[in-house]
């Protein structure tokens, strides 16, 4: 496996590159500490956190449900408009 070291100053541009194609989830700061959440700005990402309030798997469940609901709405609206 190939490993690369990324300079800390290059991380925001790497995150932006991923954000062009993907919805990105990362550790962010909140009132109670740190959580994994979707991000809109690479500067919101916190990489020096000690622990998060909830497991990253919790956000994956929410994203899956959100995707399923939006796909369902899109499918239903397409069916309604075509009839």
Give the per-residue SS3 of the chain. CCCCCCCHHHHHHHHHHHHCCCCCEEEEEECCEEEEEECCCHHHECCCCCCCCCCHHHHHHHHHHHHHHHHHHHHHHHHHHHC
What residues have CB less than 8 Å from 15, skipping those under 6 apart?
A: 24, 26, 39, 42, 45
Residue in the block written with tokens 């798997």: 57
- The CA distance from 56 to 65, in Å, is 15
Return per-residue pLDDT of the chain as tens, 83 residues.
899 898 989 999 999 999 999 888 888 888 888 888 889 999 999 988 887 777 776 666 655 555 454 444 444 444 444 44
Could you tell me the pTM of the whole model? 0.60
How high is the pLDDT of residue 78? 43
How high is the pLDDT of residue 60? 60
How high is the pLDDT of residue 82? 46
User: At CB < 8 A and 24+ separation, what contacts does 28-35 make?
Assistant: 35/59
How high is the pLDDT of residue 66? 53
């Amino acid at each position: 496996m190939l490993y690369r070291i990324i300079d800390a100053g290059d991380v925001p541009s790497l995150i932006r590159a991923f954000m062009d194609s993907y919805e990105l989830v990362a550790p962010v700061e909140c009132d109670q500490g740190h959580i994994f959440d979707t991000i809109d700005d690479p500067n919101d990402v916190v990489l020096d956190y000690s622990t998060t309030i909830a497991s990253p798997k919790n956000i994956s469940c929410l994203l899956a449900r959100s995707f399923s609901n939006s796909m369902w709405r899109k499918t239903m609206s397409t069916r309604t408009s075509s009839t």
